[in-house]
Amino acid sequence: MNQEIAGIPHTQHAVQLVGPGELRLNAAKAVHRPGPHQVLAKVEAVGLCFSDLKLLKQFGEHGRKLPIVSGIAPEVLAEIPSYVPSDAPTVPGHETVVRIVATGDKVRHAEVGGRYLVQTDYRWLPTGKSNGSFGYNFEGALQEYVLMDERVIVDPASGESMLIPVGEEPSAAAICLVEPWACVEDSYVTRERQSVKAGGRLLVVCTDPRRIDGLVESFSPDGPPSHITAVVDDAQERQLNELGLEFDTHRCLGHLPKGAEFDDVVFYGGSAASIEGSAAFLANGGIMNVVLGGERIERDVSISIGRTHYGLCRWVGTTGSNAAESYRAIPPDGEIRDGDSVVIVGAGGPMGQMHVLRDVATGHKDVSVTATDLDGERLESLRAKAGPPAQANGVALRVLNTKDAPDDSAYSYHAIMAPVPALVASAVQHCLPDARINVFAGIPAGVEAEIDLQACIANRCFIFGTSGSVIRDMKIVLEKLSAGQLDTNASVDAVSGMAGAIEGIHAVENRTLAGKIIVYPQLHDVPLTPLSELADRFPSVAAKLDGGAWCRAAEKELLRTAGRNT
């Protein structure tokens, strides 16, 4: 063993989730010693996230708390004491920066003394409904020390470690907030598929006698799908044969095998019920392409809008008859464009503020940003943070309380922060042509929304969503942080030690603070303290604030003064 264990205690303070809605502060949780493939890290800081509340409520039923079903040997998982699936108590917290204090002798990607940003999403370890994740079925950062295993945190495909080295200059708060900022970034730099998936499974459905146009033209340059299933009539079956395609044929959707899933569903027709029935076979990451061919959809269509966010499903279409037109209209990414009129709905919360701050600093020309919310205090906080960079970058910023003044304007880019399906439906009704609708809010996967799909297709709107982030996104945010284009500290609204961590989680739940809460686990007795109250509790820390904002100097002073009593 290559362990530097001097000075590492055997017990620690930790917040544990032991059941649905049951949080406990454990002042004597064991500090695990690392095995050969494991690292022990001291947590410098951790941000509290709204996603923690989903785990809090669902606990063992959460998709990322379920057991891992493949990608790693069960006997390896049995060697990892921080692997806590199903109903085992876990430690939440996934926005963090850590310092390695001990390693096993087979560790290759981390060094004792190294400071690392933690990427928490293990997409190569499926759970059946999601994937393994730090802070869910692996213990997270709301504790003083956390154990991680390189057999889990190293991507087997790329060889990249989920521990990203960072320098000593940025504050711990600034680094741990790279994770939520990276989730925001991911929603803009997401790479969208613009053709039928090469090697995937394709379902073709025709509900009326018509030609199947543009199908082969929709295939990827990387190759055709590996399997095609067609729900067609005799004439359409002959047409597919003339195209030289191999396929299975059915005469109605009800004949498809139970549980069948397809990466692409190309639907020719306008029947709302048949569109909904066909969409039920869409796999995660799938594209639903509705080719109207001049028909009109007779009513709103029920769409599983939660799967747009968590399942990365996409809905596209064309009023014409050629399926390739829909794929060609898919944008390459979710980025805002020159000239975009952007509205961020629910902008007063922590993630909404990040979207606003990001969008006013992209450098795109002739951009306007409207930030809406129902909470006046949150909006004033946002105005103070986003006003100066918006002015500096020539972005027209409007802050609007829709509780007092409903907004009926049309926009070319919508970002939806609140998990309310009706907001997505409203965005479709208030879209300019070629609009993008970024469903950022974590609407549960089974939740449906009644969408005017006819209007969506006619206006060439693109509805998309993302969940989590990848290393690429974190590196983009780190580069912006280093270049001074972005200050993630701007998101901080309160700080805490372990004594106030549970109260902080409830503050996130009750939306009582506009920005992020940063917990410093090594500070046992510090209560939840909004920055506005620092002068009363920690005057020397308040004196170090940068124009009222959190910064490295304030953080150092908090650790110095409050750490004396820890």
Closest C-alpha to 35, from 66, 79, 77, 70: 79
Closest C-alpha to 61, from 124, 135, 136, 133: 136
Give the residue, 247 or 323, on which the prediction is more confident.
323
Residue 564 has pLDDT above 70, yes or no: no
Phi-psi region of 528 (alpha: psi -120 to 50; beta: other; left: phi over 0): beta
CB 452 within 8 A of CB 425: yes
User: Given this model, what pLDDT does residue 469 score?
Assistant: 86
CB 99 within 8 A of CB 49: no
Place 550 in a pLDDT band, splitting at 50, 70 and 90. Answer: very high
Please name the residues in contact with 469: beta carbons below 8 A apart, sequence gap of 6 or more: 119, 121, 179, 182, 183, 185, 186
Among the ranges given (25-29, 377-381, 394-398), the one the predictor scored with the smallest mean pLDDT: 377-381
Task: Residue 433: count other Cβ atoms within 10 Å of its Cβ.
Answer: 10
User: Given this model, what pLDDT does residue 2 score?
Assistant: 42
Place 441 in a pLDDT band, splitting at 50, 70 and 90. Answer: confident
Within 281-438, residue ranges assigned H as helices are: 305-310, 323-328, 350-359, 376-392, 421-429
User: Given this model, what pLDDT does residue 354 score?
Assistant: 93
Spatial distance between the Cα atoms of 425 and 543, rounded to a whole number of angstroms: 47
Residue 444 has pLDDT above 70, yes or no: yes
pLDDT tens, residue by residue, 101-140: 999 999 999 999 999 999 998 999 999 888 999 999 999 9
Residue 7 has pLDDT above 90, yes or no: no
Place 565 in a pLDDT band, splitting at 50, 70 and 90. Answer: low
Please name the residues in contact with 221: beta carbons below 8 A apart, sequence gap of 6 or more: 195
- pLDDT > 90: percent of the chain: 80
Residue 387 has pLDDT above 90, yes or no: yes
Residue 68 has pLDDT above 50, yes or no: yes
pTM across the whole model: 0.86
| Strand bridging mode 262-268 / 282-291 | parallel
In a 13 Å sphere around the CA of 439, the CA atoms on its Cβ side amount to 34
- Which tokens sit at 441? 């809010």
CB 452 within 8 A of CB 315: no
CB 514 within 8 A of CB 349: yes
Question: Which structural domains are found in the chain, ordered by start?
Answer: 11-172 (3.90.180.10), 201-328 (3.40.50.720), 341-444 (3.40.50.150)
Residue 310 has pLDDT above 90, yes or no: no
369 has which bridge partners? 342, 397
pLDDT tens, residue by residue, 200-245: 999 999 988 888 999 999 999 999 999 999 999 999 999 899 988 8
Mean pLDDT of 160-185: 94
pLDDT tens, residue by residue, 85-105: 999 999 999 999 999 999 999
Place 359 in a pLDDT band, splitting at 50, 70 and 90. Answer: very high
Spatial distance between the Cα atoms of 44 and 176, rounded to a whole number of angstroms: 9
pLDDT tens, residue by residue, 493-529: 999 999 999 999 999 988 888 789 999 999 999 999 9
- Which tokens sit at 448? 């449906």
pLDDT tens, residue by residue, 455-494: 999 999 999 999 888 899 999 999 989 888 888 998 899 9
Displacement of CA 318 from its chain's centroid (Å):
29
Residue 1 has pLDDT above 60, yes or no: no
- 18: amino acid identity, one letter: V
User: Given this model, what pLDDT does residue 470 score?
Assistant: 86
Spatial distance between the Cα atoms of 190 and 312, rounded to a whole number of angstroms: 10
- 339: amino acid identity, one letter: G
The whole-chain average pLDDT of the chain stands at 93
pLDDT tens, residue by residue, 234-280: 999 998 999 888 888 898 888 898 889 999 999 999 999 999 999 99
